[in-house]
């Protein structure tokens, strides 16, 4: 599996916004591969934003922004999830396995699931 589609990969993608018809290229975290077989390759990503922004419930801090390929201290905003065509994802870096586990747990909590219930 190429790094850009592996869970834990930080990628730059055209992220959709709920309050506008536009997409802005920004960093995101791959949490799962959504497509398989003959289908187009799709990935599920969650938004990454500056840690300077007002925090939201479920945000997960990225401890090592350099390894993640990010220019500044950042958080994963688990409330903002999108499906993106893999061909539009530009690899940037990776987050630590423990941070990915925290992101998955936050997503599962938002979906009212236990971690054991899901395969993210």
pLDDT tens digit sequence for 14-60: 988 776 677 789 999 999 987 666 566 889 999 999 999 899 999 99
Alpha-carbon span 44 to 35, nearest angstrom: 9
Q: How sure is the predictor about 3, in pLDDT bands with cuts at 50, 70 and 90?
A: low
Give pTM, 2 decimals: 0.85
| Structural domain count, the chain | 1
Its domain, for residue 39, covers 3-117
β-pairing, 74-85 vs 60-62, is: antiparallel
Residue 26 gets the label, from left (phi > 0), alpha (psi -120 to 50) or beta, of: beta
* CATH of residue 24: 2.30.30.110
Bridge partner residues of 43 (DSSP): 33, 84
């Amino acid at each position: 599996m190429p790094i850009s589609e592996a869970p834990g990969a930080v990628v730059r993608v055209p992220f959709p916004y709920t309050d506008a018809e536009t997409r802005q290229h920004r960093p995101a975290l791959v949490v799962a591969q959504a497509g398989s077989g003959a289908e187009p390759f799709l990935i599920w990503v969650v938004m990454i934003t500056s840690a300077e922004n007002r925090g939201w419930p479920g945000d997960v801090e990225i401890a090592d922004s350099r390894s993640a390929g990010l220019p500044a201290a950042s958080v994963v905003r688990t409330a903002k999830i999108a499906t993106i065509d893999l061909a539009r994802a530009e690899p940037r870096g990776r987050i630590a396995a423990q941070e990915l586990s925290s992101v998955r747990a936050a997503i599962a909590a938002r979906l009212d699931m236990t971690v054991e219930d899901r395969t993210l």
